[in-house]
Each structure stands twice: as structure tokens, then as C-alpha cells.
């Protein structure tokens, strides 16, 4: 996200490196989730709460990547999204923000769209999300 804030183009070597590292991290999680329901094993844990932000809400800002090649991560996102606590948190934090639980990224992130409320392609703007 900081590289995006700096205005670096996607072709910049630092951006390419960050994107490659991101995909490597997602691939690692996908491999782990092949044999585990949740990130810490068979029980939902803090690891799931902490990491779901980076693959959902964070995607409103950066990175604008598809998760289509990560079926186990997508299954995990569906499982997290089906939890009543997650739905309550999203409704409480920003009832107008559509959770990004699917494979495809936004057509334009909020960073690319110069901020909130300018037609991000999903939802009508964002406030903070609070997990309780």
C-alpha cells in the first residue's frame, strides 16, 4: 500500500517485487489451507481474524489482484464470511461496504480512484471495520 501511496507505477521493480511476494504469501496460505479448515488448524482463531483483513477489506486500497488461482484461500474466505461474528462486524463497521470475499478484485481500487466515495465499483465508500 505504501508503494501505491508513493505513486509508483505497476511496472516499477519495487511494485513488481511486492506483488510477487504477496502472491508467494497467498500461495503459502493456500497450500496450508488445503489440509486445514482454518489458519491455525481445525479451530477458528485469532490468526483468521488478523489475516482476513489483508485479503478482503485491504483490497479496497491495494492490491488489486485476483485470488482465482487460490481455491483453498477462497474456501477459507467463504467460511470466514459465513460466520455470524464476521457479518455482524462488517455490518457494524460499515454497513454499506460489500465484503470482498470473492476471487476477483475491484476494477479500480480506492487508491486508483483518488479516495472514498468516488464510485469504487463496490459499496459507496468505506469507514473502519471493527471486529468484536
Ordered by start, the domain boundaries in the chain are: 1-132
Give the Cβ contact number of residue 67 at 10 Å: 21
Sign for the CA dihedral angle at 98, 77, 84, 93 comes to negative
Which CATH number is 1-132's, of 2.30.30.90, 1.20.1050.10, 1.10.10.10, 2.70.70.10? Answer: 1.20.1050.10
Q: How much is the pTM?
A: 0.76
Rg over CA atoms, the chain: 15
DSSP 8-class letter at 44: -
Chain mean position to CA 36 = 20
For 101, other C-beta atoms within 10 Å of its C-beta total: 19
42-101: per-residue pLDDT in tens?
999 999 999 998 888 877 776 678 899 999 999 999 999 999 999 999 888 877 778 889
CB 97 within 8 A of CB 123: yes
The whole-number pLDDT of residue 98 equals: 81
Amino acid at each position: 500500500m505504501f508503494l501505491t501511496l508513493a505513486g509508483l507505477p505497476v511496472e516499477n521493480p519495487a511494485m513488481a517485487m511486492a506483488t510477487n511476494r504477496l502472491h508467494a504469501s497467498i500461495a503459502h496460505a493456500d497450500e496450508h489451507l488445503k489440509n486445514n479448515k482454518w489458519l491455525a488448524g481445525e479451530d477458528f482463531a485469532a490468526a483468521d481474524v488478523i489475516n482476513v483483513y489483508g485479503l478482503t477489506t485491504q483490497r479496497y486500497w491495494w492490491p488489486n489482484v485476483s485470488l482465482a488461482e487460490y481455491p483453498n484461500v477462497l474456501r477459507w474466505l467463504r467460511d470466514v464470511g459465513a460466520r455470524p461474528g464476521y457479518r455482524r462486524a462488517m455490518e457494524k463497521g460499515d454497513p454499506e461496504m460489500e465484503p470482498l470475499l470473492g476471487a476477483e478484485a475491484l476494477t479500480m481500487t480506492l487508491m486508483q480512484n483518488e479516495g472514498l466515495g468516488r464510485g469504487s465499483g463496490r459499496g459507496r465508500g468505506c469507514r473502519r471495520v471493527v471486529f468484536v
